Chains A and B, each alone.
Chain A
Amino acid sequence: MTKIVKDEIVHDHNGDGIDRRGFLKCMAWAGTGALCVMQGGVLKSYSLSRLSDLGASAAAAGELSFVQISDSHMGFSKPANPDVAGTLKAAVDKINALSGAPEFLLHTGDISHLSKPEEFDTVDQILKATGKEVFFVPGEHDVLNDDGAQFRERYGKAAKGAGWYSFEKKGVHFIGLVNVMNLKAGGLGTLGHEQLEWLEDDVKQLKSSTPIVVFAHIPLWTVYPEWGWGTDDSAQALAYLKKFGSVTVLNGHIHQTMQKVEGNVTFHTAASTAFPQPQPGKADSPGPMKVPAEQLRSVLGITDVNYVRGQHALAVVDSSLA
């Protein structure tokens, strides 16, 4: 599919050159493998086969591009996917084939399946083939048995507390949050008081025009509380980010892509590179979902994110491993 579709802005509520209808329409395209980008005040969509054109011009404009992967669950070997190392390698191949080469990777957690050292080692080894720096936040599977000591030792040496931190790339402020520690019976994900105080302080001095990308394992919006798919104190975190014109929240945990736009905040969850999970309420429990072997790679995936300087919304594109 190589059609280019042009959309006109109808209502520009936030003054950022995008209207909700246009964005949501574009998000529907994104599910089929298209890229939506703001160019000259007009929302354009490109099929993934034309991604190279966009990548080239984005790179020339000095823009920022990175990839999110999630839920590699190294060590899982049940029928839903007996070869999670193989599918992670397929994800790496996909990343290496992107011609708008990403600058770095974000891994939004559940790197390992049982927090075993050899599981982390295997993921590190496989991701080395991208040649890119990887920023991690832990999933609940990464902090078993040791309250996350091993995770912090490997990936969070410069981090605070349970492993939260921030960094900047090309003027975009990235914040890695940890919402899988000290979970309470019957509860959801949780950030905790200490982390929220750190977050408030971390963003206090930033100009409201600074684009923000927050990444954490469990969704920071309430996707489906019955299955624990939400974070009980994320509202407080989002309140500290209210002043910013562009906030992108990238999560994992639910092993399927989902997006939601709320004012200046775009929420997005990534597919897993290991196994899919059912849609909210469509099964008894959120366990690994078995699909016919030939369909597995089509329900696993990576997320390519492009920031075009001066534009408010980041272009977020999911592509499967098929």
Chain B
Amino acid sequence: MDILILLIPLSLVIVGVIAWIMLWAAKNGQFDDLEGPAHSVIMDDDTPPKPNGPAKP
């Protein structure tokens, strides 16, 4: 049981680190758009423009 004396403070430190990461992520705009990235990840540019096609701007 003595190991708890080390583990409990350690868990507090880890929670602190996670909390810091969460706050940083919120501040950094990671939660601004919760839907778009989920969709955009499956829609990659698999079909490059045809080389002979008129590449409109």
Q: Are A and B a genuine interacting pair, yes or no?
A: no
> Interface residues, chain A, CB within 8 Å of chain B?
none
> Interface residues, chain B, CB within 8 Å of chain A?
none
